Amino acid sequence: MESLDDDEVAKAFAAGEQAAFAEVYRRWGALVFTVCLRSLGDRAEAEDATQQVFVSAWRGRAGYRAEVGSLAGWLVGVARHRIADAHAARARRAMPVATEPVCAASPSHDGDVVSRVVVADELARLGQPQRRILELAFFGDLTHTQIAERLDLPLGTVKSHIRRGLGRLRDRLEEVDDDESQ
């Protein structure tokens, strides 16, 4: 592979030849790592991002088009996406999350106050990690995936806790609405 020019290596890479993948890494790994390191400023994060770039490139090699640009340029484009993901993850980790629900200062009518008090009360009754998951979802405005990453839980577990927790809240609010209408 070392004797091949860049275009030939790119064609072999796009065709799925594993030897070409090793050659692509040998030729452009340092470039990708340098781009990641300069943007992220942290060696460990840059190493992780570089690894993610090459895994993504291998999995998405069918998307590479030699007629559009060089393989090195395409790899830098993939790196830009992984770098953006790393910056977003860093920002999510640094973001403070509310741990207590916040009620509006001037509700539009009494029913809103009752509903908010009931929601806050019912949230307080939920066990962990269900309560924390719902707080992160609604007061922290995090996605299910972000919650799973932050709490180191499987995504399915997070979704199940949210579904069951919302079911409990719905049932409790329906009870309150029934009591008010009588």
Q: Which domains does the chain show, CATH number per domain?
A: 6-94 (1.10.1740.10), 110-181 (1.10.10.10)
pTM: 0.53
Give me the pLDDT at residue 82, please: 92
Average pLDDT for 140-154 = 87
pLDDT value for 27: 94
**pLDDT given at position 13:** 93
Among the ranges given (3-17, 66-80, 111-125, 145-159), the one the predictor scored with the smallest mean pLDDT: 111-125
pLDDT in the model for residue 74:
95
What's the one-letter identity of residue 152?
D
Q: Reply yes or no: is the peptide bond before residue 129 cis, omega within 30 of 0.
A: yes
Residue 158 DSSP SS3: helix
CA-nearest of 88, 6, 98, 10 to 49 is: 88
pLDDT at 180: 63
Could you tell me which residues come within 8 angstroms of residue 19 by beta carbon, excluding any fewer than 6 positions away? 1, 12
pLDDT at 72 over 90: yes
Residues for the chain: how many in total?
182
d(CA 4, CA 112): 71
> What is the overall mean pLDDT for the chain?
83
Q: What are phi and psi of 8, to 5 degrees?
A: -65, -40
Q: Can you tell me whether residue 140 is helix, strand or coil?
A: coil
- Judge whether residue 91 has pLDDT over 50: yes
Which is higher by pLDDT, 133 or 1?
Answer: 133
User: Judging by beta carbons within 10 Å of its beta carbon (0-12, 13-18, 19+), is residue 27 exposed, middle or buried?
Assistant: middle
Give per-residue pLDDT as tens, 40-70: 999 999 999 999 999 999 999 989 998 999 9
- Do 161 and 128 form a contact (C-beta atoms < 8 A)? no
Which pLDDT belongs to residue 73?
94
What region, left, alpha or beta, does residue 107 occupy, with left being phi > 0 and alpha being psi -120 to 50 degrees?
beta
